[in-house]
Each structure stands twice: as C-alpha cells, then as structure tokens.
Structure 1
Amino acid sequence: MATDYDTYQNPLNSRYCSPEIKHIFSPRNRFTTWRKLWVWLAEAEAELGLDISPKALEQLRANTRIEDAEFDVAAVEEKRRRHDVMAHVHTYGLVAPEAAGIIHWGATSCYVTDNADLIFLRDALNTLLPKLAGVIQRLTNFALEYRDLPCLGYTHGQPAQPITVGKRASLWITDLLMDLRNLERARDDLLTQFRGVKGTTGSQASFLAIFKGDDAKVDALDDLVTKKAGFAAAEISTSQTYSRKIDVDVVHALSSFGSTCERVGGDIRHLAMFKELEEPFEADQIGSSAMAYKRNPMRSERLCSLGRKLRNYSADVEQTYSAQWLERSLDDSAIRRLTLPESFLCADACLILLNNISSGLVVNKAIVKKRIEEELPFMATENIIMAMVERGYSRQETHEEIRVLSHEAGKVVKQEGKANDLLERIEKRAFFQPILPELAALIDPNTFTGRSAKLVEKLVQQKVQPALERYRDALKNIVDAELKV
C-alpha cells in the first residue's frame, strides 16, 4: 500500500512552512469556509424574508466543520457529477437535511470558490504581517546594537567609504518596511473587494428573480453577506469571478518581498564570504559532509532560493489575469490552485528563515576591524590632503605626493602580498612632517562613518516605531523560528 513516503510531497508544505499558513489553504478550511458562506447566504436570505426555516439554519450552523468521513462522500459525488461545488452542496445537505433544498439558493459556484479565496488571501496576509513585523524588530535591535561599529562600505564590489554594521542593516530594514506597507495595502484593499452575491455573470439576475424584482433587497443581501464574512464592502461590478487583477495585486506584493529576501540573503552571504558576519550556526551543525571546518551560510542560501521562487509567481498571476475571456473562462482554475497557496507558503517560509537568521547574527568584530585597517590608509588620503592644505600646502602638490606613495603601497599589497604600508611611507616622507602629530586622528575609523549611527536612530524613531506600533501586542508573542534542513 502506498504511503506518504511513496508520493511526491511539496517541500513548501512538508519542510518549510508554519502550521497556521498551511491550515489556511487546507482542504478542511476550504470546504468549511464554503459551508460558512452557505450559512451566511441562507441567514441573509431569511432575514430579508425568504422562506427558510429556523430548523434549516440550525442544522447548517451545527455542521459548518466538514468531518473526515464527509471528504469521502464528497469525493464519490464529485466523481459522479464532475463538479466539486455541487458535490459539496450534496454532502452538506446530507448532514443538514432541513436545509438541503435551499443551500446555494440563487448562487453560482464562484459564490463559494471566489469569496472563499478572498477570505484566504485576507487571512493569510493577516498571518504574515506580524511575522514580518517581528523580523523588522529583530533587525532593528541588531542595527541599534551595532550602529557605532565601523565597517567597510562597498560600491561596485570594491571597498569604499566606511559605514557602520548597523547602518548596513538599516538598508535591509528600510526595504522590509516597504514590504510591510505593500502587504498592508494589499490586505486593506481586499477588505473592500469582496465578491459578494453577484450571480452567474455578475448581473445579480438570479437574486433579482428570487426577490421579485426588489433592487433594494438584492443590495441588502450583498451587504449582509459581505459584513458576515468580515469585509467592509463588496466590489460593485464583477464578472462570474472576482477580477483576477486582485490576484495580481496581492501576489505582486508577495513577489516584491521575495526580491527583498534574495537581496538580504545575498548581502549576508557576501559578508560571510568576507568572514565579517555569520548567520546562526548550531553546536552540532555540519557545514559540509567532506570539509569539516566549513560554516556554510545555508540559511541565507535557502532564503535566496525561496526568495527567487517567490518573486517569479508574479508572472503566473499576470498571465492568468490577462488571459481571462469576457465574463470568465476556466483556464484560471488549475494554475490558481497552485499559485495562490504556494506564493503564500513561500513567503511564510522566507519569513521563518528571516526570523531565524535575524535572531542570531554574529559579527566578527576582529575581522571587521582588520578589513578596515587593510583599506583605511588609502581612504585616509583625502583627510591627509585636506590637513596639509589647511597648513598652507598646495593641494595639487600634496595630491601628487600621495598618488606616488599610494601606487607604491598598492604594488606591495597586490604583487607581493604584503600588508598595506602607505602610512609608514607617509611617516617617512619629510613632506608630511607638519601633520604627523595628528596622523592617528586622521586615520581613526570612527571619523569616516559620517552620520551612520544617527541615521540608524532616525530611521528607528521616524519609521520603524510608527510602523510597528500596530503590532505591539503581536510582537510580544514572536518566538525564535526553528528550521528543517
């Protein structure tokens, strides 16, 4: 007999994601949500005067959770009818016989499928947002801790003017704040984009017939169901489905977050390559099966991998939206079954990784200092030139002296593999005698980082704290994430 070990398992589901996000897109939650939608429809129709008995409503409410045995019943019916929604209408009617005749009254299949999907998108965004806030909080703590620690900046992949370790982390925070805003906007937009009750082609003709041409009651039905589902408003005009442009909007926000993940993971991997920064490494962890000494940045590598996958989901939803025909075509169905859940599972996996990485970043201060010292003599030349000019020496003449000595020192470093001896050359050159007493101050790394520390503090005060205020209670419950290999 085949077991789970004999069939393909999506690693997003089996290895990388949290139980809460997997539950949102689970069959149990999907079909239970369908039943809730049928309850809300029946309740609203009864409230507006349709002949639905209290007993029918009671049975519907008592059986909203689909039980294990009912999945088999629905599967048999779906095989016979070749229609999943009608299979579940039949299955629900068996446990709520008083309501069997009014389940799905006036609705089309997309009443449950599409409204349920909008509920899942909303709930999934609400699940991801506190996790993202938690990552931002952890990185903020890291940035504040190291806001004064000088390190090399890099432009074009080459050593550049020093910044601080905290200032570099503030770049990641800034981008993640944009992701937080994007996901919040997508969630907030959804709250006014419920499909509601629109009928087979979006004209509400079936509901107008049920209510004998009473426009006000059709509007009231739409509003009642929308409020019962927890949405502020329904979209005014839809086709048989809600516009797949909504999927584009939501998944774009997720994909944008994926690009941030790949960027942050890439930075950490580069810094690990320089030995300046390391992601968490557990006591018994093995970096390589052959090279026992290695501490591979496997978490950040996985973050880059999943971030790359996440940002590619945007193409799926764009192409699906643009391929829709008129009031609807079914070529969106199969791909959305994959893309919508997987994009959220992938984002969740990235957040788990970011949580884990940001909870234990290790700064190798000695290496950071050493790398600055290796490059600082070249970077200090501008300070030295300015100090000489202040004493009345020609800038051009000083520049030439520095240029000649810098090239000599550079040759020693690049061709002989020796330490940078530019400062020793400057000290021995009589031309620079007037500034030798202040040479140590001119090459102090802390004088090269500008306003790095203050910029970190300003970012935290003006952007991070206001953005995280609404997550204050949720942040109290954020715990360190554990990873599967």
Structure 2
Amino acid sequence: MQLTSLNAISPIDGRYRNKVENLSGYFSEEALIRYRVLVEIEYFIALCELPLPQLEDFDHSKFEALRALYQDFKSEDAQAIKDIEKVTNHDVKAVEYFIKERFDALGLAQFKEFIHFGLTSQDINNTSIPLSIKEAVHAVYLPNLIEVVQKLKDLSNQWKDVAMLARTHGQPASPTRLGKEIEVFIKRIEEQLKVLEVIPHAAKFGGATGNYNAHQVAYPKVDWRTFGADFVEDRLGLTHSFPTTQIEHYDHMASLFDAMKRINTILIDLDRDFWTYISMDYFKQKIKKGEVGSSAMPHKVNPIDFENSEGNLGIANAIFEHLASKLPVSRMQRDLTDSTVLRNVGVPFGHTVIGLKATLKGLGKLLLNTDKFDQDLENNWAVVAEAIQTILRREAYPNPYEALKGLTRTNEKINQQSIANFIDTLEVSDAVKEELKGITPSNYTGI
C-alpha cells in the first residue's frame, strides 16, 4: 500500500501533513540518514585537516565533492542506504558502506577505511539528532511560536483600553483591561523563551565508551579530546559533552523538552481562556462561507481552533514528558532504549506546530463584542466596593471593609444608584464622596 494522507496511521503524516511537512527535513528517516552522512563526511574532512599521517596526501580540492554527498542528498540515496541496511541490519553501518561506495566512484578507495574511523554508531547518532533538533527549533519551531507571540502583541495593543470584568474563582472581581490580560501570556512565553534559548544542544563524540580508546591506541600523540571538542563545537555548532558513556547523557535535551513543554502549557492556558471568553460571548468569530459549525445545530460557530490547539499541545506535552524523563536514564555504559525513543522526537514537534498554527488561526478569527464587555461591567457594580473601602481606609474611616461587606453580600441588586446612596450615608467630606462616586466598573482598572 502506498502511503497517503488517507491511510497514514499518524495524523501528523495524515490529516495534518500539510501543516508540518517542513519538519520532515529534520525528523524523517530520510532526514536522519542525511544528517548521518553529513557527520561522517565532516568527520573525515576533519581527520584530513588534522592531518592524520595516512591522510596527508588527500587532495583537499575533493572536499567539495565529498560535501556534495549530503548537500545534494536525494531520496534515492536514502533508499540505497536502506537497501544496504537490509543486509547489514545496522543503520549507521549502512551509511558507512554507502559512503565507501561513493569513495570508490570518486577514485578515493585508498582513503575509505578512515570513514567512521575509531567511532561507534552513537558518535554519529548523538551528533546527528541534536543537530537536527537544533536546526528544527530555529527553522520551524521558533518562527511559528514568534508568529503567535506577535499576533498576541498586536491584539494586546489593539485592545489595550478595553475595560473588562475580571473573574477570580469564576466570580466577578476587580476589573482589568483586555490588552493587559493578553500581555500576561506574552510575558510568560517570553520568559520561557529566555530559558529555552540558552539551553545547549549537546552532543557526545568519543568512541565506544566515551574515552577515545580506539583513537588513542592508533594515534597516541594526537590530542583527541581537543579534536573531538573542536569538531563538535566549531564544525557542527553543537556543545561537546565530555566525559560521557557510549551515549550522550541527554540532560540538555531533556531541559529543552521541558522548556517546550512549559511554553505549551502556557498556550493551553491561553486556549482555555479564549475558549471561555467565546462561550461568555465576549468574542464572536469570523464566519467563513460554506463552513459548518455543527452537524445538527445550524447556528453554532464552535471555538474549534482553540480546542484543536489544546488537544495537540496536550499530546505533545505527554511525549515531551516521556522523552525528558526517559532519555537521561540508561543502564551502565548504555542500553538501547534511547535509540527507539529518539526516533520519536519529531512527533511532539509536529503536534506542537499544529497547536501553534491552530492558536494563531483562532486568534485571527476573534471579533470583539464590546456590548457584552460593557454589559458585564454594568451588571457588576459590586466590584467597586474594593475601591471604596480602600479609600475609606486612607481616610481612617472606622471598619470600612465591614461596612462594604454589609452592602455587597446581600441578594439585592447592586447598581450605580445603590452605591451612590451608600456613599451619601458615609461620614466623610463632600470631596471624598465625589471621589468615590467617580469610580465605576469601567474606569476602576488599575494601571
């Protein structure tokens, strides 16, 4: 059966493929193979530039042809490597054999035993995967997240003067401004971005158990630790982890996933708030011609984008949580559980991007219902009681809290007139009374 969007098991590769297709260049099987080829080629070039004695005669003008093996990497190349893997039953060894075949074709057969020289497969995997994650974060994840943040900034500025009844514990509370409430989410995300941006993308590179055993026994005069650090940091742009076991310890990768999880949690909080505001009629939603809101109720326009986002971000967080807790744990010098788990790192990225796009779409459909904002404020004059009792405290009025409590904690309707009547009974100056009467639910919004 040929894989299509209709028969794919995962919705990432099915229903939502068009939303996350650009992630395939970082997290697909073909992408992983290409990154492995990249690391193998750059490692061989680094050995030539060291140089190892047997590579002193290597023609450096051939570097361009070698780099073309990953720069011009095609699906046919990936398939050729998968065909080799059917024989080797080892994915990284298949990459090595593929490159050796290309060396033969380029007339470089005498040098091909220095491909993968002294390495274990995890030297390739634990550089390829962090590199793919780093590039996906910067090329796909951050642009989508920043687009959401920018949309929030636009809306926060657009609605900065919109007075809004706040609710604590679901009950009417001191009024606020809509723009400020959105700004809370902006600040929360930006604070977590500061954390995310300083997390290293770390890679292991040091042989079978991390000690450069094979390198050291073959060339004891070479400073292999410095070589490895320079290769990982200067050539690949990653942070070199040392010492390690056979594998990268994944602590920094876990930190990255935890940071992304916290950002997703903030977005879930935002999704739920806007879902609630829509249910309260604070917002209408733009209607697209031909769309159906409900199969049974023609009037409905459901907040499906915020629901879609919440669901996908929740799935992403569940997987991020497993990755962050599982990857740093490995028996002795290494077990193989990290290998199969790492093949899923693109899955939470995919669900996260789907969630970000859905949030952005939902925000773009919001239509402010100012009448509902004004109506809620007008129906809740009791919220100015806090302002009145605070000013009375300033004036050293006896028991102001208790006085306001007696007024507001009844089943009688509190409105502008009943508040004014109460103020008239207070033994304060006329100036203070005028000050108190000037407070309304719409202007008692703080700073």
Task: Give the match's secondary structure for 1:63.
Answer: helix
Task: Give the match's secondary structure for 2:146.
Answer: helix
Amino acid at match of 2:116: H
Q: Is 1:172–1:264's contact at 8 Å kept on the other side of the alignment? A: yes
Report 1:57-206 matches (<5 A).
Answer: 57=63, 59-64=65-70, 65-97=72-104, 98-99=108-109, 100-127=112-139, 128-186=141-199, 189-190=200-201, 193-196=202-205, 198-206=206-214
Q: Deviations over 1:59-112 (max 9, x none)?
A: 433322433333333223212221111112222222331254332122111121
Task: Give the match's secondary structure for 2:301.
Answer: coil
Amino acid at match of 1:407: T
- Which segment drifts farther, 163-172 or 95-104? 95-104
Q: Which runs of 4+ in 1 moved over 4 A?
A: 55-59, 278-281, 382-398, 424-441
Please give the TM-score of this superposition, normalised by the length of structure 2. Answer: 0.85
Q: Is 1:254–1:344's contact at 8 Å kept on the other side of the alignment? A: no
Q: Is 1:244–1:317's contact at 8 Å kept on the other side of the alignment? A: no
Residues 183, 360 of structure 1: alpha-carbon distance in 2 compared, 3 angstrom cutoff = farther
What corresponds to 2:8 in structure 1?
A: 8
Q: 2:307 aligns with which of 292, 298, 301?
A: 301
Note the C-alpha offset of 1:176. 1.0
- Which segment drifts farther, 130-139 or 247-256? 130-139
Note the C-alpha offset of 1:449. 0.3
Q: CA RMSD in A?
A: 3.2
Task: Give the match's secondary structure for 1:4.
Answer: coil
1:379 aligns with 2:387: no
What corresponds to 1:35 in structure 2?
A: 37
Note the C-alpha offset of 1:164. 0.5
1:399 aligns with 2:371: no
Residues 267, 392 of structure 1: alpha-carbon distance in 2 compared, 3 angstrom cutoff = closer
Q: Is 2:275–2:306's contact at 8 Å kept on the other side of the alignment? A: yes
Q: Is 1:380–1:442's contact at 8 Å kept on the other side of the alignment? A: no
Task: Give the match's secondary structure for 2:350.
Answer: helix
Task: Give the match's secondary structure for 1:96.
Answer: helix
Residues 430, 12 of structure 1: alpha-carbon distance in 2 compared, 3 angstrom cutoff = closer
Q: Is 1:239–1:327's contact at 8 Å kept on the other side of the alignment? A: yes
Amino acid at match of 1:126: H
Q: Is 2:167–2:173's contact at 8 Å kept on the other side of the alignment? A: yes
Q: 1:330 aligns with which of 316, 329, 336?
A: 336
Amino acid at match of 2:215: F
Q: Deviations over 1:185-241 (max 9, x none)?
A: 22xx22xx3323x11110101111332x0142552354135312123x422212111
What corresponds to 1:444 in structure 2?
A: 440
What corresponds to 2:370 in structure 1?
A: 365
Note the C-alpha offset of 1:438. 4.6
Q: Is 2:423–2:436's contact at 8 Å kept on the other side of the alignment? A: no
Whole-Å separation in 2 of the counterparts to 1:390 and 1:35: 73
Task: Give the match's secondary structure for 1:160.
Answer: strand
Whole-Å separation in 2 of the counterparts to 1:253 and 1:430: 51
Unaligned runs of 5+ in 2: none
Note the C-alpha offset of 1:396. 6.4
Whole-Å separation in 2 of the counterparts to 1:5 and 1:210: 51
Residues 384, 226 of structure 1: alpha-carbon distance in 2 compared, 3 angstrom cutoff = closer
What corresponds to 1:354 in structure 2?
A: 359
Residues 279, 170 of structure 1: alpha-carbon distance in 2 compared, 3 angstrom cutoff = farther
Task: Give the match's secondary structure for 1:328.
Answer: coil
1:315 aligns with 2:318: no
Amino acid at match of 2:26: I
Q: Is 1:194–1:234's contact at 8 Å kept on the other side of the alignment? A: yes
Whole-Å separation in 2 of the counterparts to 1:27 and 1:365: 51
1:291 aligns with 2:294: no
Task: Give the match's secondary structure for 2:298.
Answer: coil
Unaligned runs of 5+ in 1: 410-419, 452-485
Q: Percent identity among equivalent residues?
A: 19
More helix by proportion, 1 or 2?
A: 1
Note the C-alpha offset of 1:424. 4.3
Amino acid at match of 1:133: I
Q: RCO greater where, 1 or 2, for CA within 8 Å and sep 6 or more?
A: 1
Residues 372, 76 of structure 1: alpha-carbon distance in 2 compared, 3 angstrom cutoff = same
Q: Is 1:43–1:57's contact at 8 Å kept on the other side of the alignment? A: yes
Residues 159, 92 of structure 1: alpha-carbon distance in 2 compared, 3 angstrom cutoff = same
Residues 428, 383 of structure 1: alpha-carbon distance in 2 compared, 3 angstrom cutoff = same
Task: Give the match's secondary structure for 2:164.
Answer: strand
Whole-Å separation in 1 of the counterparts to 2:286 and 2:8: 31
Amino acid at match of 2:233: T
Whole-Å separation in 2 of the counterparts to 1:218 and 1:425: 80
